[in-house]
Amino acid sequence: MASDDGSMRILVAGGARVDAGKTTFTTGLLDRLGAVGFKPRAGNDYWFDHDDYRRAVEAGRLYGKDAKRLADASTGTFAPEDLNPVHRLWRPSPGPGTGLVGAAHRQFVLDRVGESFVVNARTHVPKSAREHLPLDDAPTVSSVEELNEVTRRLHLPMLDGFADRIRRVETETEAGAAVVESYGDVAVPIRDLSFDAVAVVEPGRMRAYEPAT
């Protein structure tokens, strides 16, 4: 239910892990509402999204095309990083291994958390990333336990603070509306943030749900 103050917050989740159409659906909804879009967690791949990777990294930044599309479609002026605090760079993982975080056929290379970075010590970091991103003093992880510890220390506080940022932006925009896009098939991208409706998007179909209260 929309808030008494007239603000509205929608969660867009995907029924399929990739290419569900979430971002296209979200950009149209932003246009419809005059809203601001957020993608708390995002990721892209050094190999499969190489043009997007190069465009960002050569400018000393790390973001993906989804966050860029949300920034462009939002009411107001935002950089992709304003709307997407946590971005993970992947690369293909040859062979049967599942990589540090257990994802089949790909391994995580590095994370951007706000303006900081976390580097996987057990994979090759592209030379272009080392040249253009401030990785020299970035923490490295070489086990799931270390990644979990860094996640507790960096990622989770960043995401918790981002919930406050979403609420603040809502109050500052005329429409008072926010659309939050989930990452992959992760249903709830951020803790402690309630929604007025949940849209689950898959190719050719949208299902709308009332969120649990």
Partner 1 sequence: MTDLTDPKATATLPALPDDDRRDPAAVARAYADAYDELLAVAES
Among 25, 38, 117, 162, binds partner 1 (CB under 8 A): 25
Interaction of residue 2 with partner 1, rule CB under 8 A: yes
Q: Write each residue from 70 to 109 as x if it is in contact with partner 1 (CB under 8 A), else as -, in one continuous string.
A: --xx------------------------------------
CA dihedral 18, 149, 143, 104 (to 10 degrees): -10
Interaction of residue 7 with partner 1, rule CB under 8 A: no
Among 17, 19, 28, 98, binds partner 1 (CB under 8 A): 28
**Alpha carbon distance 210, 213 (integer Å):** 9
Nearest to 163 by CA among 41, 42, 2: 41
Using left for φ > 0, alpha for ψ between -120 and 50, and beta otherwise, residue 94 falls in beta
Interaction of residue 173 with partner 1, rule CB under 8 A: no
3-state helix, strand, coil in the chain (%, to 5): 30, 25, 45
**Alpha carbon distance 10, 179 (integer Å):** 5
Among 22, 27, 46, 49, binds partner 1 (CB under 8 A): 27
CB of 191 vs partner 1, minimal distance in Å: 13
Among 14, 22, 30, 64, binds partner 1 (CB under 8 A): 30
Interaction of residue 203 with partner 1, rule CB under 8 A: yes
Give whichever of 3 and 128 is closer to partner 1, judged by the CB atom: 3
Tokens of 119: 């580097």
Interaction of residue 1 with partner 1, rule CB under 8 A: yes
**Alpha carbon distance 61, 67 (integer Å):** 12
